[in-house]
Amino acid sequence: MNRFPFATYLTSNTDLDETMIHELVHQCMNKSVDKGAYLLRQGETCEYSIFVEKGLLKQFAIDDQGKEHILQFAPENWIVSDRASAYFNQPSEYFIQAIEDSNVVLFDEAFILQLAKSNASFLEFNHRQLHNHIRQLQRRILQLQSATASERYQHFVKVYPDLLLRVPLVQIASYLGITPESLSRVRRELAQQNRTILS
């Protein structure tokens, strides 16, 4: 049995055998990060993909007016990274910050590429990850283009079911691309609808 969430994740998502996974997990860097600590800052090149074993991270940009725009949250068993920055060795637009005390596993692009070269199953896994990432980003764009505040919020609840109690509402609003006031209104309306249905 795997004691490490990252090992469990690799077992579930690749065909790598236990010995190989054991070796890999020991090649990666484990890190404890305090709430508020940064794992990437805008302007730095992203060096690592970050697997969250425990805790919660957010990936966000800050615009010229100093306003924060959240691209994604990464709770347990999520991987977060700016893969384009890592791959092209270019400055990232993003910050990655812990919003809870967290335990993470760090692995770099060289690690991924080397493993992908030597192992067809990992190559396939990495490919699936990239395509899945594209799928998620496309959905996010479509949502920002077309969904109402209420649809965005309901989608958030589905994607991140356990984050409602862990993330301040102002950050959820930032992720959704709506004002905190709109988010409050939507939550009030949905609560009212639920009360109506139940009464």
Q: What is the binding site for a copy of itself (CB under 8 A)?
A: 61, 63, 67, 69, 71, 82-84, 87-88, 93, 127-128, 130-135, 137-142, 144-147, 177
Cα torsion through 65, 66, 67, 73, rounded to 10: 150
Q: If we measure between CA atoms, which residue out of 97, 103, 50, 101 comes closest to residue 78?
A: 50
Q: Which two tokens stand for residue 170?
A: 């102002």
Cα torsion through 32, 35, 160, 58, rounded to 10: -90
Least separation in angstroms between residue 177's CB and a copy of itself is 5
Q: Could you give the CA distance from residue 177 to residue 49 in angstroms, rounded to a whole number?
A: 25
Q: Which is nearer to a copy of itself, 53 or 82 (CB)?
A: 82
SS3 (DSSP) at 73: strand
Q: In what order do the strands lie in the sheet with 79-80?
A: 29-33, 102-108, 48-54, 79-80
Least separation in angstroms between residue 89's CB and a copy of itself is 11
Least separation in angstroms between residue 141's CB and a copy of itself is 6
Least separation in angstroms between residue 184's CB and a copy of itself is 19
Least separation in angstroms between residue 115's CB and a copy of itself is 13
Q: Please name every residue paired with 194 in a beta bridge, in sequence order, or none if there are none.
A: none
Q: Does residue 45 contact residue 90 with C-beta atoms inside 8 Å?
A: yes
Q: Which is nearer to a copy of itself, 25 or 50 (CB)?
A: 50
**Residue whose tokens read 């209104």:** 185
Q: Which is nearer to a copy of itself, 4 or 175 (CB)?
A: 175
Least separation in angstroms between residue 126's CB and a copy of itself is 9
Q: Could you give the CA distance from residue 22 to residue 18 in angstroms, rounded to a whole number?
A: 6
Q: Which is nearer to a copy of itself, 131 or 188 (CB)?
A: 131
Q: Which is nearer to a copy of itself, 22 or 140 (CB)?
A: 140
Q: Which is nearer to a copy of itself, 113 or 169 (CB)?
A: 113
